[in-house]
Amino acid sequence: MKILVTGGAGFIGSNVVDAFIEKGHDVVIIDNMITGQEENINPKATFYKMDIRDEKVFDVFAKEKIDVVDHHAAQMDVRKSVDDPIYDAQNNILGSINLMQAAAKHDVKKFIFISTGGAVYGEQDYFPADEEHPTRPLSPYGITKLTGEKYIYFYSQTFGLNYVILRYANIYGPRQSPHGEAGVVAIFTTRLLAGEQPVINGDGKQTRDYVFVGDVVDANLRALTYEKNDYFNIGTGIETDVNEIFRHLNEFTGNNAEEKHGPAKPGEQLRSVLNNEKAKQLLGWQPQVSLKDGLKKTVEFFKRKK
């Protein structure tokens, strides 16, 4: 198949690209390189440095004869979305509509839309949250992702565009950026390896559902061959607090730093964990990499990168 991966030079997207190519697919990447890294671009892929909002996206679809879109490109910094909701909406809503419009016009067979579990559900009523949990996003980022889900449903109903929506939990692993509002795993790992002191926000008891990027790649591979229109949580169903993440990384980096706490981040979600039973039953997907093994693999990646 000819697969377009948007954001294919980014952390998760590039790992997905590599897997698609390994499976024998032809891959096209669109990435504006604002957060993407040149070193992440698979040399076997066709690369377009382009913004997903650009009208030239239609030319790429016409030229490349795309079969499947795997849409990872996004403005995903929650704090930035709060500071500049217009920029967030331009990227995540208008950019997604531009891609969906091109997909519908050029008879794309499937659209895999990457959404978010924690940010779409907001503060949870029950734990873990399944796909039927009320959606009450607390940030513009969560709102734009939920809006993207609604638009893909519209394109399905009106133009027959087939889709799978993947609602990610907190993804970590090799190639994750430690800059900006990156994941705590990448931030702590790089600081510990540099001999610097990480600071835990608040009491560190805020929990997240941490999924290794290799397991997320597997979910994307399974979505390729899933025949219905549907949406799935991609998480472990296990809550892990920030203190535990710090202690594991402190051990695996051999740093032995003290556990230092700073002020809590205003408005930070306290608990987030996703039920993955639907993905198990219908996609045949479940995480294979334990937290400890995933963190070890991540530390080894950053050690090699030093």
CATH number at residue 32: 3.40.50.720
Q: Report the distance separating Cα 286 and Cα 288, nearest Å.
A: 6
CA Rg value for the chain? 19
Q: What percent of the chain has pLDDT over 70?
A: 99
pLDDT in tens, 131-142: 999 999 999 999
pLDDT in tens, 157-172: 999 999 999 999 999 9
Return the pLDDT at 180. Answer: 65
Look at phi and psi of residue 126 and say left if phi exceeds 0, alpha if psi is from -120 to 50, else beta: beta
Here the tokens at position 31 are 């990435």
Closest CA to 223 of 110, 117, 132, 145: 110
Length of the chain: 306
Please report the sign of the dihedral spanned by the C-alpha atoms of residue 219, residue 223, residue 225, residue 230.
positive
Please report the sign of the dihedral spanned by the C-alpha atoms of residue 263, residue 290, residue 231, residue 41.
positive
Query: pTM of the predicted model, to two decimals?
Result: 0.97
Clarify whether residues 134 and 262 are in a common domain.
no
pLDDT, averaged across the chain? 96
Clarify whether residues 157 and 144 are in a common domain.
yes
Q: Are 32 and 49 in contact (CB under 8 A)?
A: yes
Residue of 48, 121, 141, 231 marked active site = 141
Identify whether 141 is a catalytic site residue.
yes
Q: At what angle do helices 11-22 and 213-225 cross, to 10 degrees?
A: 50
Clarify whether residues 83 and 147 are in a common domain.
yes
Closest CA to 222 of 61, 31, 16: 16
pLDDT in tens, 177-228: 998 666 999 999 999 999 999 999 999 999 999 999 999 999 999 999 999 9
Clarify whether residues 36 and 115 are in a common domain.
yes
Clarify whether residues 44 and 93 are in a common domain.
yes
* pLDDT at 145 > cutoff 70: yes
Here the tokens at position 294 are 């995933």
Clarify whether residues 113 and 134 are in a common domain.
yes
pLDDT in tens, 34-48: 999 999 999 999 999
CATH number at residue 188: 3.90.25.10
Q: Report the distance separating Cα 139 and Cα 136, nearest Å.
A: 9
Q: Could you give phi then psi for residue 125, rounded to 5 degrees? A: -85, -30
Q: What percent of the chain has pLDDT over 90?
A: 95
Clarify whether residues 69 and 215 are in a common domain.
yes
Number of domains in the chain: 2
Clarify whether residues 122 and 175 are in a common domain.
no
Q: Domain limits at 76?
A: 2-169+211-234
Clarify whether residues 164 and 258 are in a common domain.
no
Instruction: Return the beta strands (E) in 44-188 as ranges.
Output: 46-49, 68-71, 110-116, 163-168, 170-172
Clarify whether residues 165 and 182 are in a common domain.
no
pLDDT in tens, 81-140: 999 999 999 999 999 999 999 999 999 999 999 999 989 999 999 999 999 999 999 999
Clarify whether residues 188 and 201 are in a common domain.
yes
Q: Could you give phi then psi for residue 158, rounded to 5 degrees? A: -90, -35
Return the pLDDT at 181. Answer: 61
Residue that is written with structure tokens 């799935």 in the block = 232
Clarify whether residues 58 and 142 are in a common domain.
yes
Q: Are 2 and 107 in contact (CB under 8 A)?
A: no
Which residues, other chains included, contact 81 with Cβ-Cβ below 8 Å and sequence gap of 6+?
Answer: 75, 88, 139, 140, 141, 144
